[in-house]
């Protein structure tokens, strides 16, 4: 009777008026063990099937990107002569001969590129770059944005006015234009720095392109976080526990760290998680137009970009990076949505 | 209202000036110049070229000269594309980009709004779930993936659509589709949540109680209120279409503003970098400004700060 309900009708649903079952009654009993914020949130999060599946997917991708390469017989920059342009699971002439001699040759699961590099390992390294960029950039954004926002919100008044005006300006700056310009500009001083002083040699190990991306994202993306944290702090600082802490003689720093920031933990977690996919998005975009991570280090964006040149002859080369990048971004988005529902229901919309 | 508008316009002007200054500084920080490409010209030619374009003067003088001219709308000649003015390059490029971008925004709105409404009205049913899955993946897939996969399927495998240029209406299909996917999905998601909120409001019950038809309730009360938040999204949407166009223009070889911008940076074409950056920044900042003010006018419930 009620199943043909019109979307706008206010017809009552009979099933809403059935007597409550034992289980439902149980859930209303107040005398259960008190649950901490974390436990409550985690419990809600783990009930969210889609978010859990995404979490598993991300963990698998992380293993794929960070662990598997150590056991993989090929390296991402190794050019195997005579094995250029192999199709997935295909062996080159030499490798076939080796196999006939009884030696075992690891198959090129996704084939090789025009320089004879194994696509599978490049895909792993590309995913590693994407994950690194997403996570490191988001942590930087978290650190800068939450400190800045907390200081502005806590002190209020003129401090807030001046600090937030700066945020407003950075917020209106068209980020992608400045990101592209900064990427091109930063490369040279960083390279020089890496060669000139031994203390900065680590820049070369991580890769100049990656460092550039971290710096640029940290410089531009913290403003969103700062705004959110500030608005939370503004309402939190009026509450009694802050007055109590102040009465007990706590310093400003301690109040901000121990009382205010811990109270907006939910927002911090959710905003940071949702920052990850957008950083990955921008990185792949930059690498695609050719100014992201420098060769020979692969990135999913640059792999897709090179695949386009040979798209007529080797269309399958495009699919692996394309699917991988979409999968990573989708999973992080879904985890972020799940965390938001679990920890910070107010943030919805 | 007047005070708010003045404040916002001032902020926009400061931002634009800041972008221009940062760009000028960054551009000159990069080693190499516009005339130092593969074929390095002789010392004398280089000197003459630098003199001709005023690059031999101290930076601060160059900056002052440039800004004075830029305020009057004179962006000077391109350093690399001989005989073309920056303004001319921007106008031709923008015409192309605006056509592709405008079409995709239009399509995104025309598909996204009904899609989100249908999902909200059928909350929890299979059609809602299908729309949610579609829009969630539409947000996750970068535009370069969409473009290349479209190209792979429709041009290379099926051979139905041309791969590059914009010479016929058929050429527009793929670039526009690739650019429109993300905004369509985003608008649909926004529309769904805002529609759900509106459907739960008291005035919906009132409308129903006074005996309005389903049609009137839906179009006059629900849709008009639910569509408001979409307006705020139009600013970022235009920004997205522009950045997305960098990639889409590269893939489909479209001679638009995005490809001008990227090639100008790679070629160190100083005047063209400045011109395109200022123009794009101006466009984005103005769009955001107009959208914000329009939103406050359309929805009187919003308090002006």
Residues B144, A284: contact at Cβ < 8 Å?
yes
Mean pLDDT of B105-119: 90
Chain CA centroid to CA A279, Å: 6
Q: Are residues A159 and A107 in the same domain?
A: no
Phi/psi for A56 (5° steps) reads: -60, -45
Residues B78, B84: contact at Cβ < 8 Å?
yes
The CA distance from A190 to A169, in Å, is: 27
Q: Are residues A247 and A160 in the same domain?
A: yes
The CA distance from A149 to A167, in Å, is: 9
Number of domains in chain B: 1
Q: A25 in a domain, yes or no?
A: no
Which residues from chain B sit within 8 angstroms of residue A312, using beta carbons?
156
Query: Per mean pLDDT, which range of A3-17, A146-160, A260-274, A324-338 is the poorest?
Result: A3-17
Contact A315 B152 (CB under 8 A): yes
Q: Give yes or no for residue A27 having a pLDDT over 80.
A: no
The CA distance from A233 to B196, in Å, is: 29
**Domain membership of residue A177 as a residue range:** 45-77+123-347
Q: Are residues A169 and A235 in the same domain?
A: yes
- Strand, coil or helix: what is A112? strand
Radius of gyration of chain B (CA): 24
pLDDT tens profile A90-128: 777 677 777 777 777 777 777 777 777 778 888 888 898
Residues B96, B179: contact at Cβ < 8 Å?
no
Q: Are residues A163 and A251 in the same domain?
A: yes
Q: Are residues A306 and A262 in the same domain?
A: yes
Other CB atoms within 10 Å distance of the CB of residue A84? 14
Q: Are residues A105 and A157 in the same domain?
A: no
Which residues from chain B sit within 8 angstroms of residue A173, using beta carbons?
15, 18-19, 281
- In chain A, the percentage of residues whose pLDDT exceeds 90 is 6
Chain CA centroid to CA A331, Å: 9
Q: Give yes or no for residue B184 having a pLDDT over 70.
A: yes
Q: Are residues A61 and A197 in the same domain?
A: yes
Q: Are residues A106 and A238 in the same domain?
A: no
Task: Write down which residue in A69, A96, A116 finishes a domain.
Answer: A116
Looking at residue A2, its pLDDT comes to 45
Structure tokens at A317: 């080369």
Chain B residue nearest residue A284, CA to CA: B142
- Strand, coil or helix: what is B302? coil
Q: A137 in a domain, yes or no?
A: yes
Chain A residue nearest residue B190, CA to CA: A349
Contact B141 A333 (CB under 8 A): no
Q: Are residues A164 and A245 in the same domain?
A: yes
Number of domains in chain A: 2
CATH number at residue A333: 1.10.3720.10
Per-residue DSSP letters for A151-199?
Answer: HHHHH-HHHHHHHHHHHHHHHHS-HHHHHHHHHHHHHHHHHHHHHH-GG
Q: A8 in a domain, yes or no?
A: no
Chain B residue nearest residue A312, CA to CA: B156
Q: Give yes or no for residue A5 having a pLDDT over 70.
A: no
Average pLDDT of every residue of chain B: 81
Looking at residue A1, its pLDDT comes to 41
Q: Which of B4, B21, B144, B207 is most worth mutating to test chain A (most A CB atoms within 10 A of its CB)?
A: B144
CATH number at residue B82: 1.10.3720.10
**Domain membership of residue B42 as a residue range:** 1-305
Q: A39 in a domain, yes or no?
A: no
Q: Are residues A334 and A223 in the same domain?
A: yes
Q: Which of B32, B142, B305 is most worth mutating to test chain A (most A CB atoms within 10 A of its CB)?
A: B142
Q: A20 in a domain, yes or no?
A: no
Separation in Å, CA of A105 to nearest CA in chain B = 32
pLDDT tens profile A195-213: 777 777 777 767 777 888 8
Look up the ipTM and state it: 0.75
Q: A2 in a domain, yes or no?
A: no
Phi/psi for B278 (5° steps) reads: -60, -45
Task: Write down which residue in A66, A97, A116 finishes a domain.
Answer: A116
Q: Are residues A88 and A226 in the same domain?
A: no
Contact A176 B246 (CB under 8 A): yes
Counting DSSP H helices and E strands in chain A, the numbers are 16, 0
Q: A195 in a domain, yes or no?
A: yes
Q: Give yes or no for residue B20 having a pLDDT over 80.
A: yes
Average pLDDT of every residue of chain A: 80
How would residue A144 be classed by pLDDT, with cut points 50, 70 and 90?
very high
Cis peptide leading into residue A296 (ω within 30°): yes
Q: A286 in a domain, yes or no?
A: yes
Q: Are residues A164 and A103 in the same domain?
A: no
């Amino acid at each position: 009777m009620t199943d043909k309900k019109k979307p706008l009708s206010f017809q009552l649903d009979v099933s809403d008026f059935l007597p409550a079952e034992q289980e439902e009654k149980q859930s209303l009993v107040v005398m259960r063990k008190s649950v901490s914020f974390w436990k409550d949130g985690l419990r809600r999060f783990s009930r969210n099937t889609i978010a859990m599946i995404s979490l598993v997917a991300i963990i698998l991708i992380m293993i794929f990107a960070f662990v598997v390469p150590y056991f993989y017989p090929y390296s991402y920059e190794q050019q195997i002569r005579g094995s250029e342009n192999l199709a997935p699971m295909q062996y080159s002439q030499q490798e076939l001969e080796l196999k006939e001699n009884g030696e075992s040759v690891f198959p090129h699961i996704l084939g090789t590129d025009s320089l004879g590099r194994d696509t599978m390992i490049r895909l792993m390294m590309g995913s590693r770059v994407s994950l690194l960029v997403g996570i490191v950039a988001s942590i930087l954004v978290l650190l800068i944005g939450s400190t800045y926002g907390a200081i502005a919100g806590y002190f209020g008044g003129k401090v807030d006015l001046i600090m937030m005006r700066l945020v407003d300006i950075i917020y209106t700056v068209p980020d992608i234009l400045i990101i592209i310009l900064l990427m091109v500009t930063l490369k040279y001083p960083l390279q020089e720095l890496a060669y000139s002083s031994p203390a900065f040699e680590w820049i070369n190990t991580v890769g100049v392109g990656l460092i550039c991306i971290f710096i640029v994202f940290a410089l531009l993306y913290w403003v969103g976080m700062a705004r959110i944290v500030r608005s939370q702090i503004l309402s939190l600082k009026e509450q009694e526990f802050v007055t109590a802490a102040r009465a007990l003689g706590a310093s400003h720093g301690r109040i901000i760290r121990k009382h205010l920031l811990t109270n907006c933990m939910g927002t911090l977690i959710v905003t940071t998680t949702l920052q990850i996919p957008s950083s990955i998005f921008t990185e792949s975009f930059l690498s695609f137009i050719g100014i992201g991570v420098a060769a020979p280090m692969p990135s999913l964006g640059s792999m897709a970009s090179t695949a386009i040149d040979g798209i007529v002859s080797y269309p399958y080369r495009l699919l692996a990076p394309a699917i991988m990048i979409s999968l990573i971004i989708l999973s992080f988005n879904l985890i972020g949505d799940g965390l938001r529902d679990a920890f910070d229901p107010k943030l919805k919309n | 209202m007047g005070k708010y508008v003045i404040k916002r316009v001032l902020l926009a002007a400061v931002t634009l000036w800041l972008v221009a200054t940062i760009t000028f500084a960054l551009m000159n920080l990069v080693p190499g110049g516009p005339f130092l490409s593969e074929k390095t010209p002789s010392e004398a030619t280089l000197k003459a070229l630098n003199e001709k374009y005023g690059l031999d003067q101290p930076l601060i003088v160059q900056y002052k000269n440039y800004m004075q001219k830029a305020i009057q709308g004179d962006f000077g000649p391109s350093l690399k594309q001989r005989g073309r003015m920056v303004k001319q390059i921007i106008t031709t490029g923008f015409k192309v980009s605006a056509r592709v971008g405008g079409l995709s925004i239009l399509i995104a709105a025309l598909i996204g709004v009904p899609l989100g409404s249908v999902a909200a009205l059928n909350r929890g049913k299979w059609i809602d779930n299908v729309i949610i899955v579609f829009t969630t993946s539409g947000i996750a897939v970068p535009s370069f993936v969409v473009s290349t996969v479209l190209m792979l399927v429709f041009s290379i495998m099926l051979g139905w659509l041309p791969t590059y240029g914009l010479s016929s209406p058929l050429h527009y299909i793929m670039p526009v589709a690739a650019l429109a996917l993300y905004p369509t999905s985003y608008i649909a998601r926004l529309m769904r949540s805002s529609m759900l909120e509106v459907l739960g409001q008291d005035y919906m019950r009132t409308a129903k109680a006074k005996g309005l038809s389903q049609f009137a309730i839906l179009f006059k009360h629900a849709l008009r209120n639910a569509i408001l938040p979409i307006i705020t999204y139009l600013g970022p949407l235009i920004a997205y279409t522009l950045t997305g166009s960098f990639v889409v223009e590269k893939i489909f070889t479209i001679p638009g503003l995005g490809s001008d911008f990227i090639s100008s940076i790679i070629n160190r074409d100083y005047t063209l970098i400045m011109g395109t950056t200022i123009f794009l920044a101006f466009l984005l900042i103005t769009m955001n400004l107009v959208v914000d003010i329009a939103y406050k006018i359309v929805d009187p419930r919003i308090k002006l700060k």
